[in-house]
């Protein structure tokens, strides 16, 4: 991973706003889908596809690529939009999200779209899948890394903790988990539905390196990944504290937007706010 210079950081911040705008447009066209999670995780996906990952959109099955596993598949609109902008498929295809025979299903389908590493939907499976890939890389003596994106809500699943124990016990240090700690799930706030804290202490007890960051700060995230890449003899989890619905004021921190798309008027307001934010970012760097 190359150094993150100020000019590149500015490009990533502007790209993140573009991704958020396309997420809104894509969800509006689909008429269904999740809003809060994709908007909250945009900065992280932007950093992955445009700075961190060793990948080639023209060769999605390149054996030496880094693997990005999306466990919380319901936030896939942000992955689809970012992949389209990165060159994996035409941007125009985003209009087919959740439609019959579309490659862009409501949850990722690995064999439908080149560039997806797994099929996800049932929560709690992603860490186990990523561990398998990480073990395969070690057996084959390969240097590629495996990143798995998880939600905080799916940490209410028992199989997530079984996988966490296994990774810690076996010192799987080519695995980095990024948890979207946005504190919401479909029925409310995580700490009301089923409390998760103390998350940091739990992962430390399972022999993981733990890094807490502001998940909407691209520089912080890139630096955290750099630290994770230097860790040996244990897996790393980056607990990314994100704002669900980031960039759209009426969606931010409101769990009701976990699984809801905007209507036409809401999308119009959201896009106006994002364009205003985009103008501020551009002016700050002039």
pTM of the model: 0.96
Q: How far from 109 is each of 12, 45, 114, 234, CA to CA, in Å?
A: 27, 18, 10, 30
* Rounded distance between C-alpha atoms, residue 179 and residue 80, angstroms: 19
Helical H segments across 61-111, by residue range: 76-86
**Which pLDDT score is estimated for 285?**
66
Two tokens, residue 222: 């890139």
| Contact predicate 176/204, CB 8 Å | no
Answer whether the bond into residue 107 is a cis peptide, omega within 30°: no
Residue range 6-284 forms a domain whose CATH class is: alpha beta
Of residues 173, 174, 130, the one with CA closest to residue 150:
130
Residue 242: per-residue pLDDT? 98
Q: Which two structure tokens, joined as six digits, stand for 48?
A: 């992955």
The one-digit pLDDT tens for each residue of the chain (286 residues) are 888 999 999 999 999 999 999 999 999 999 999 999 999 999 999 999 999 999 999 999 999 999 999 999 999 999 999 999 999 999 999 999 999 999 999 999 999 999 999 999 789 899 999 999 999 999 999 999 999 999 999 999 999 999 999 999 999 999 999 999 999 998 999 999 999 999 999 999 999 999 999 999 999 999 999 999 999 999 999 999 999 999 999 999 999 999 999 999 999 999 999 999 888 887 776 6
* Residues whose CB is less than 8 angstroms from the CB of residue 32 and which lie 6 or more positions away in sequence, other chains included: 98, 106, 261
Single out the residue of 81, 4, 69, 43 nearest to residue 215, CA to CA. Answer: 43
Residue 236: its pLDDT value, please? 98
Q: Give the Å distances, CA to CA, from 131 to 112, 147, 211, 281.
A: 23, 10, 19, 38
How many angstroms separate the CA atoms of 249 and 18, rounded? 17
């Amino acid at each position: 991973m190359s150094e993150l210079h100020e000019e590149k950081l500015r490009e990533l911040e502007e790209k993140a706003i573009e991704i958020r705008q396309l997420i809104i447009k894509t969800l509006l066209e689909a008429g269904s889908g999740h809003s809060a999670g994709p908007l909250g995780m945009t900065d992280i996906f932007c950093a992955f596809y445009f700075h961190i990952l060793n990948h080639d959109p023209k060769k999605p099955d390149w054996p030496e690529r880094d693997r990005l596993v999306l466990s919380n598949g319901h936030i896939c609109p942000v992955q689809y939009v970012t992949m389209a902008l990165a060159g994996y498929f035409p941007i125009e295809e985003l209009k087919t999200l959740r439609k019959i025979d579309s490659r862009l299903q409501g949850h990722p389908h690995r064999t439908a779209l080149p560039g997806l590493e797994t099929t996800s939907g049932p929560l709690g499976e992603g860490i186990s899948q990523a561990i398998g890939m990480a073990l395969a890389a070690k057996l084959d003596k390969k240097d590629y890394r495996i990143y798995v994106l998880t939600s905080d809500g799916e940490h209410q699943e028992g199989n997530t903790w079984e996988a966490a124990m296994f990774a810690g016990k076996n010192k799987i240090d080519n695995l980095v988990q990024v948890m979207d700690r946005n504190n919401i799930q479909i029925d409310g706030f995580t700490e009301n539905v089923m409390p998760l804290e103390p998350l940091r202490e739990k992962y430390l007890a399972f022999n993981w390196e733990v890094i807490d960051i502001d998940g909407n700060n691209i520089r912080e995230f890139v630096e955290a990944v750099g630290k994770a890449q230097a860790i040996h003899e244990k897996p790393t989890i980056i607990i990314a504290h994100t704002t669900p619905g980031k960039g759209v004021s009426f969606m931010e921190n409101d769990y009701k937007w976990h699984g809801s798309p905007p209507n036409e008027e809401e999308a119009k307001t959201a896009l106006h706010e994002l364009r205003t934010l985009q103008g501020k970012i551009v002016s700050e760097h002039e």
